[in-house]
Structure 1
Amino acid sequence: MRIRQVGASERADVVFPLTAYAFEPTREFGELREKYRRRMRYFEHVTTLVGEEEGVGARACVAAFPMRENVRGRVVDMAGVASVASHPESRRRGYVRELLWRLLEQMRDQGAVVSTLYPFRPSFYARFGFVGMPRRRRVGFAPEGLPRVELPGTVELRTNAEGFADYLTVLERVCERTHGFALFDELRTAEFGEAEVWLAVARGDDGEVLGALPYEITNFGDELDGRHLLATGPLGRALLLQFLARHVDQVRRCSVWVGPDAVPELWGTDLEVTLEGLVDFPTHGGPMARVLDMRGLDGMGAGDGDVTVEVVDDPFVAGVHRLVGEGGRLSVTTGGAPRARLSVAGLSALVYGVLDPVEVMTRGLGQIEYTAVDALRALFPRELPYLFADF
C-alpha cells in the first residue's frame, strides 16, 4: 500500500467512492456524489490520507478536521478524525490501522494537542489510545409544560442566514466556558450557515447574545425539531425555553439536543420529558478522545496536587511525566519517580474527566499506587465533557 495525501479537489473522485459505500444508501450514490463535489470548497483545510494499491487505486482513507476544543478550561488545537473507510476487498489487511497512525502523527506534528472521533466500533479505536466520552442527549417535551414568567431579555426569530453571525458568537462563548466543546475552523463552519432552518437568538436587555437554537418545524400540529440548545448561562437557556413555550398551539412537541450534564426534568414543575442518549454500533457510537501531546496540556485547569506518572506503549506521549496542579492550573514536566503506570487511554480518561482513578484501574487502563489515587482525583476532578461538534 502506498500512502498519499489528497486535497479537497480529489476527494469526490478518490475518497467519495469509499465513504459512500461505507456510510450511504446505495440508491443515492450518483446524486450524493454531485452534492459532495459542491461541498468540497469547505474541505480545503482537511487533512486526508489514502492508501492505494497499484493498478486499482484507493483502497482505504482517513481524514482529520482542524478543530479547537476546550479541555478543562483551555482551548487547544484538536484533530477531529472522520472519513475512515476501506474497500470491502481490502479490509482486514491493516490498511486503516497504518493510515490512522500516520494521520495522528501528522496532526500532532501540526500542533494538535488532542484528537476526538465518533467510532463505528470503540474497541477498534481503543487500540489507538482513544477512550469513550458521554454522548449528547435528545430531550423531548410538550411546550405547554414549560413555565412562563417575565425575564430580562428578548428572543429574536431569524433565518439561519440572517442570524448566523450571532450563532457564531454563541458558539465561541460556549466553547470558552464548556469542557469538551469543540469547533471547526472558520472555513468548515461556513457551510453550516447554508442550512435552511430557523434560528432563535436570545439577548439580554443590554443586547448581549446569550443563546441560540437552530430548528425547523416538521408540520403544523407536529414537532419543532431543534438542534443544540446553546446558551452561555441559565438566563439564555430560560429565554429560549420561553420562546418554545409560545409554540403551544402550533406544535405538539419540541425536541432539542443538550449536553450530558443537562437536567431538563428540572426545567418546569409539571414538565413531562423524555431524555434519550442512544448508543449502538456502528451508527450511534458515543464520542472518543485521546491526548496527542503532553506539552499542550500545560496551563490546563486542574486541582491542587503533585503526581508523577509513566505513560506506556504509545508513540506520542509515552514517558515519565510530573503533573503538578497549583493555583488552578496544570504544569507538565518530565522525569521523577512514577506512582502510576497508565496507558494513553487511562491518561486521557483522567484528563477528560470521564473516569475516576479507581475506574481507570478496573477498566484495565493503568496501575496506580494506593497513595496516588486521591492525588490524581484531586488533580483531575470528574467533569463531563460536552463534545458539541459532529463530524
Structure 2
Amino acid sequence: MQIRQVTAEDRTDTIFPLQTYAFMPSPWADADRVIYAGRMQYFRTTLTLVAEEDGRALAGVAALPMRQNVRGVLHDMAGVASVTTHPAARRRGLVRELLGRLLRQMSEQGCTVSALYPFRPSFYGRFGFVGLPRARTATFAPEGLSHLLRADLPGEVEQFTMREGFDDYNALTLRLLGERHGFSVYDEVRTAEFREDPRWVAVARVDGEVVAAVAYRIDRFGGDLIADDLLATGPLGRALLLQYFARHVDQVARVIVTIGADEVPELWGTDFAVLTQGKVAYPSNGGPMARLLSMEALTGTVTTAEESITVEVVDDDFIAGRYLLAGESGRLTVEPSKNEPQATLTCAAISALAYGVLDPIEIVTRGLGQVEPSAAGPLNALFPRRMPYLFADF
C-alpha cells in the first residue's frame, strides 16, 4: 500500500468511485462521471491524498483551502472532505494514516485551523476535533410575516440569478468573514463554481450598500421556498429579506431558511408560528467539528480579559506543549512557557475554548482535560462562550 497526492484531473479516476459509492446513490450513471470530471477545474487547489494497492485506490481524503474567522482573527483553514474507503478495505487504518498526513501537509502549508463534517464524531475526536453547533432551519408560513408588508423599511431587495448577483453575494460573504466568529469561505478557485448555482439570489441594499443576501429556490406553486443561509450584516438587512419572503404569501405555503445557532426566529414577529430545527444524525447530517493546528496563531484573538494562565496541551502531534495565555489591551498573546500548568488540556479542549463552544467545567465533565479550580475563572474570561457560525458546507 502506498499513499500519494493526486491532481484534480486524477480525482475522477481515483477518488470519484470511492466518494460516489460512499455518499451518493449507486450504481452511478456514466453521465455522473462526466459531470464530475467537468467540475474538477474548481478543485485545482484542493489537496487530495489516496491510498493505493496494486494500482487501485482504496481510500482517499481531501482538504479544501479556506479561511475562517476565530474570535476576530482570520486563519487559513483546511476544510477536510471526501473521506472515503472502499468497503473491502475498511477497518485497516487507511483513513487514520491519510488524515494524519493530510493535516500535517496542510499545517506545513500554513493552515492554522481545520474543520470537517463527521460521519462519526468520536472517530475525529481522536484527531483533536471538537463539535461546533450545526446550522438550523426555520420553517414558517409567509403570512406570519405580514406585519412587515406594512413596514416602510429603508432599502430595497433585488432578485437575480446567481450568475447575475454572484459578485454582490460573494462580496457579502467576504465582509462577514471579517466580522462573524466561525464564518468560513473557500478560496477563489473553489468559490468560482458557485457562480453557476442554478438558484435565485435576493440581495438587500441600503443606500447602495449590500446589507443582506440569500440564495433560494421555489419547488412548486403552493409549495416551499427553500433558502440557504440568511446572510445579513444586522437587523435591518435581515428584516428586508424577511419582508421579501412575506411578499410570496400567495405563491408558496412555506418558507424554509437556514439560520445560525444564535438566531431566534420566534422573535421575528408577534404571534409568529415557526418551527426551528437543528437535526443531527449519523452518518448523515453531522454537526461540524473543528480543531486548532497552531497555538501561536491564536495571538491577536480578541479578548476583554486582563488575565494570564499557563496551560499544557497534551497528546497531539501539532500543538502539544506548555503555553502562557495572556490577555492585554483587548488581545490575546500565546507564548511557549516553562511554568507549571494550571490546566492540562487535550487539543479538543483548547479548540473548544478557542471556538467558544465549551467552558472549563464542561471540559472536565466531558473528559477532555483537567482544570484546577483557580484556572476556571481565567480561562472563562479569556475564552467567553460564543457560538461560531460555520457558513461553508463541504
The corresponding residue for 2:177 is: 175
Return the alpha-carbon distance in structure 1 between the equivalents of residues 52 and 99 of structure 2.
Answer: 14
C-alpha distance in 2, partners of 1:270/1:79?
A: 43
Matched residue of 2:124: which SS? helix
What is the Cα deviation at residue 27 of structure 1? 3.6
1: CA distance, partners of 2:224 / 2:20: 30
Match of 1:112 in 2: 111
Q: Which amino acid aligns with 1:181?
A: F
Is 1:378 paired with 2:381?
yes
How many correspondences in the alignment?
A: 389
Task: Tell me the residue number matched to 2:372.
Answer: 369
Contact 2:21 2:27 in 1 (8 A): no
2:308 to 306, 309, 315: 306
Deviation at 1:303, TM superposition (A): 3.2
Deviation of residue 222 (structure 1)?
Answer: 1.0
Which residue does the alignment assign to 2:229? 228
- 1:87-126 mapped onto 2 (5 Å cutoff): 87-126=86-125
Equivalent position of 2:24 in the other structure: 24
Query: Could you state the TM-score of these two structures normalised by the residue count of structure 1?
Result: 0.98
1:126-177: per-residue Cα shift (whole Å, max 9, x none)?
0100000110001111111113211111111111111100001110111111
Please tell me the residue identity of whatever aligns with 1:65: L
Specify the alignment match of 2:208 in structure 1: 207
Q: Which runs of 4+ in 1 moved over 3 A?
A: none
Could you tell me which residue of structure 1 aligns to residue 133 of structure 2? Answer: 134
Quote the Cα distance in structure 1 between the aligned partners of 2:6 and 2:373. 49
Deviation at 1:56, TM superposition (A): 4.5
Distance 1:29 1:103 in 2: 30
Task: Provide the C-alpha distance between the structure 1 equivalents of 2:32 and 2:304, rounded to a whole number of angstroms.
Answer: 49
How many angstroms does 1:29 deviate by? Answer: 4.3
Q: 2:358 is matched by which residue type in structure 1?
A: L
8 Å contact 2:345–2:370 — kept in the other structure? yes
Q: In percent, how many aligned pairs have the same letter?
A: 58
Amino acid at match of 1:112: C
Within 5 Å, give how 1:1-20 maps onto structure 2. 1-20=1-20
345-354 vs 292-301, which moves further = 292-301
CA contact (8 A) 1:212 1:240 kept: yes
- Mapping 1:219-258, distance limit 5 Å: 219-258=220-259
The 8 Å contact of residues 20 and 29 in structure 1, kept in 2 or not, is answered as no
User: Matches of 1:180 and 1:201 in 2, distance apart?
Assistant: 23
- AA at the equivalent of 1:191: E
CA contact (8 A) 1:303 1:380 kept: no
**Letter of the structure 2 residue corresponding to residue 225 of structure 1:** I
CA apart distance, 1:294? 1.1
Partners of 1:187 and 1:211 lie apart in 2 by 24
Secondary structure of 2:284's counterpart equals coil
Partner of 1:47 in structure 2? 47
Counterpart position of 1:150: 152
Structure 1 residue aligned with 2:340: 337
SS at match of 1:270: coil
String of CA shifts for 1:322-344, please: whole Å, max 9, x gaps.
Answer: 11112221100011221000000
Report the secondary structure of 1:180's partner residue. Answer: coil
Q: Hey, what does 1:84 align to over in structure 2?
A: 83
* Equivalent residues of 1:303, 1:381 under 8 A apart: no
Distance 1:364 1:75, change over 3 A: same
